[in-house]
A and B are shown apart, each in its own frame.
Chain A
Amino acid sequence: MKILVPVKRVIDYNVKVRVKGDGSGVDLANVKMSMNPFDEIAVEQAIRMKEAGDAEEVVVVSIGVKQSQETLRTALAMGADRAILITAADDVHTDIEPLAVAKLLKAVVDEEQPGMVLCGKQAIDNDMNATGQMLAALLGWSQATFASEIKVDGDHALVKREVDGGMQSIKVKMPAVVSVDLRLNEPRYASLPNIMKAKKKPLDEKTADDYGVDVSPRLEIVKTSEPPERKAGIIVESVDQLVDKLKNEAGVI
């Protein structure tokens, strides 16, 4: 089985986001970019499945600006076999919407015929949590979102999902789209020799036009604003004072 893993280049999760003064968006010039944390988990999972003999090849794909190549190289250094870069924007501030990403991924799936697509549950920039589900819909495949355990068993996969009430186990028919949650695994770091080796691994360069997919947005961004600021309150001296404040000032207990 071949596993396809879509990886997104996003602002590093440690960076404090700055909203631009003119409300046009978030400032992404000269900030540290990394692989979406959930996608690292998906890449790790795919590599582990290959190591366990459940998969033969791990193909990673990224859609966006050409700098997404760096994200793909990271995935290759972790152990993915091959990469596909689909350039769909010139400006780092352009975010390709999940629907367009899903259409491009569908075109890649049609070409590559993987047995499973392993994606992240959510991109930490747009916080959409949509692409995997949309891809499954377009393919007419089964979907298992928010996975914290995946076991492939012939033509089915058993997936444990993180849901509001706790956990749910489902059995999905393969091929399937599975989106991964935080507790599936701990991604490895790429070693220096593997980073060197990754430079020689194949990386195919395509454009959205090659697949005939229209990536123009359906959602017009009217404005981007700062959330209401929360001011720090006071430091209380003791538990007694805290209880007093909660009872008599805030009136919440």
Chain B
Amino acid sequence: MTVLLLGEVDNGTLNMDATAKAVAACKPLGDIHVLCCGAEAADAGKEAATIDGVAKVLVAEDAIYGHRLAEPTAALMVSLAGDYDHVVAPATTDAKNILPRVAALLDVMVITDVSGVVDADTFERPIYAGNAIQTVKSKDAKKVVSIRTSSFDAAGTGNSAEVSDVATGDAPGLSEWVEDHVAESDRPDLTSAGIVVSGGRGVGSEEDFAMIEKLADKLGAAVGASRAAVDSGYAPNDWQVGQTGKVVAPDLYVAVGISGAIQHLAGMKDSKIIVAINKDEEAPIFQVADYGLVADLFEAVPELESKL
């Protein structure tokens, strides 16, 4: 059995963390072929070839795959899918956009955000904001699956798989990229960081959110936020952790001024160590925290920062 895995290629660069975690998840499924597509994808393809467990890398380089618009990328994957039993991708926003389209074109159900691979047909996935885990067995001939990367450890590197080009398709002409609005940052990536410091509504303002960022920088951590903090404009949307934001599982997660709504817990409760700083001792976040500090964050955070 062979797996077609969509490598996470962002502006020509391979997202090693997401791709290597998806490769690890697919190991029990058979030989893994990684597809790298984009306006530039050759370098990403070479990178992907180093991931242990990858049997082959397919490169599709064409301007129509730039920015990975769903329509051309899905069409490409469908054109290749004939040779494969599983079509897989790490559950990034790109893959969440593309994979269901692939599945529908193949007339199969998509199995999204898989947190466990039981066997070739059977997968575990969280439902109801992670309050239940469902085990599903697919009756479809082909399985289209997205992988919740925080549930898997990345495969190692050192491999040198064969790399080949694949035929590209025609532009469907349905959508066009206009622009990206990305904030450059030197901080680690939220989904792969070892430590995450997140702020919530309790932080109170965009100015005061700088305090959270300062603490994060001291720890070499990524910065996260609750939905309330993002909605209030304290933090950008891509920092949101939770059911509908990013799912993280760092070694240390520090929640500051976050109450611990189930939708937030859905994105961080698999962290190894959870620290909560909140002035309300009844806050539900303390029910999942390994270390809770009942304190005013405006005093506790600067003190913590100074003592690290």
Which residues from A are CB-within-8-Å of B126?
127, 227
- How distant is the Cα of A26 from the Cα of B267 in the complex, in angstroms? 20
Q: Are B304 and A239 in contact (CB under 8 A)?
A: yes
Q: Answer whether A133 and B104 are a contact pair too, CB < 8 Å, given A239-B293, A245-B291.
A: yes
Given contacts A221-B136, A233-B292, contact A252 B100 (CB under 8 A): no
Q: A129–B112 contact, CB under 8 A?
A: yes
B220-237 contacts to A (CB < 8 Å)? 227, 230-231, 236-237
Residues from chain A with a CB closer than 8 A to the CB of B181 are: 160, 166-169
**B109 on the interface (CB 8 Å rule)?**
yes
Segment with Cβ contacts to B, from A56-64, A71-79, A94-102, A188-196: A94-102
Query: Given A168-B180, A252-B252 in contact, is the A145-B97 Cβ separation under 8 Å?
Result: yes
Stretch with Cβ within 8 A of B (4 or more), from A1-9, A80-88, A135-143, A205-213: A135-143
- B122 beta carbon closer than 8 Å to chain A: yes
> Is B291 in contact with A236, judged by CB distance below 8 angstroms?
yes
- Whether a CB of chain A sits under 8 angstroms from the CB of B94 is yes
Bound-state CA distance A128–B111 (Å) is 8
A171 interfacial by beta-carbon distance below 8 Å: yes
Give bound CA distance, A161 to B130, whole Å: 24
Are A182 and B227 in contact, with the CB atoms below 8 A? yes
* Smallest CB separation, A169 vs chain B (Å): 4
- Binary per-residue interface labels of chain A (132-165) against chain B in the complex, 1 for a CB within 8 Å, 0 otherwise: 1111111001111110100000000010111111
A134 contacts across to B, CB distance below 8 A: 100-101, 103-104, 110
Q: Which residues of B contact A136 (CB under 8 A)?
A: 70, 101
Q: What is the CA–CA distance of A46 and B201 in the complex, to the nearest angstrom?
A: 29
Number of residues from B at the complex interface, CB < 8 A: 91
Does B307 lie within 8 Å of A163, measured CB to CB?
Answer: no
Chain B 284-299, CB-CB to A under 8 Å as 1, else 0, gives 0011111111110000
Give chain A residues whose Cβ lies under 8 Å from the Cβ of B101: 133-134, 136-137, 143
The reply to whether A163 and B286 contact each other, CB–CB distance below 8 Å, is: no
Interface residue from B69, B139, B231, B293 paired with A235 (Cβ < 8 Å): B293
Check A99/B109 contact, CB under 8 A, given A143-B175, A166-B183, A246-B275: yes
In the docked arrangement, what's the CA distance between A246 and B96, Å? Answer: 36
* Cβ contact within 8 Å between A250 and B238: no
A230 to B230, CA, bound (A): 26
Residues 205 to 253 of chain A near chain B (Cβ within 8 Å) = 217-227, 230, 232-236, 238-240, 242-243, 245-246, 250, 252-253
Q: Which of the listed residues A17, A138, A148 has the most CB atoms from chain B within 10 Å of its own CB? A: A17
Contact residues, A163-201 vs B (CB, 8 A)? 163-173, 181-183
Partner of B251, one of A163, A173, A252: A252
CB-based contact A224/B133 at 8 Å: yes
Structural contact, B137 and A219, CB atoms closer than 8 A = yes
Pair A183/B230 contact, Cβ less than 8 Å: yes
Docked-complex contact A218 and B140, CB < 8 angstroms? yes
Contact in complex: B92, A164 (CB < 8 Å) = yes
Interface string of A83-123 (1 = CB under 8 A from B): 00000000000000111001000000000000000000110
Which residues on the B side are within 8 Å of A141 (C-beta)?
174
A134 to B74, CA, bound (A): 11
Taken together as a complex, chains A and B put the C-alpha atoms of A54 and B12 apart, in Å, by: 38
Asked if A234 contacts B269 (CB within 8 A), the reply is: no
Contact partners of A129 in chain B: CB under 8 A = 96, 100, 112-113
- Do A98 and B100 form a contact, CB below 8 Å, given A170-B175, A232-B287? yes
Chain A residues in 8 Å Cβ range of B137: 219-220, 222
Q: Which of A146, A161, A162, A218 has most chain B Cβ within 10 Å?
A: A218
A127-B129 contact, Cβ under 8 Å, with A163-B94, A164-B246, A252-B252:
yes
B174's closest neighbor in chain A, by CB?
A: A142
Given A164-B93, A167-B237, A252-B252, check contact A218 B109 (CB 8 Å). Answer: yes
A33 CB–B CB distance under 8 Å: no
Nearest Cβ distance between residue B145 and chain A, in whole angstroms? 11
In the complex, whether B138 has a CB less than 8 A from a CB of chain A is yes
Which residues from chain B contact A220 at a C-beta distance below 8 Å? 136-139
User: Shortest Cβ distance from B272 into chain A, in angstroms?
Assistant: 7
Contact B96 A183 (CB under 8 A): no
Q: List 12 A-B contacts (CB under 8 A).
A: A19-B131, A97-B109, A98-B109, A102-B104, A133-B98, A145-B97, A163-B93, A168-B179, A225-B133, A225-B135, A226-B133, A253-B219
- Contacts A26-B132, A143-B101 aside, 20 further interface pairs with beta carbons under 8 A come to A13-B263, A17-B132, A121-B244, A131-B100, A132-B100, A136-B70, A137-B104, A138-B104, A162-B237, A166-B181, A169-B181, A171-B175, A182-B244, A219-B138, A221-B136, A223-B135, A224-B132, A233-B291, A235-B291, A239-B300
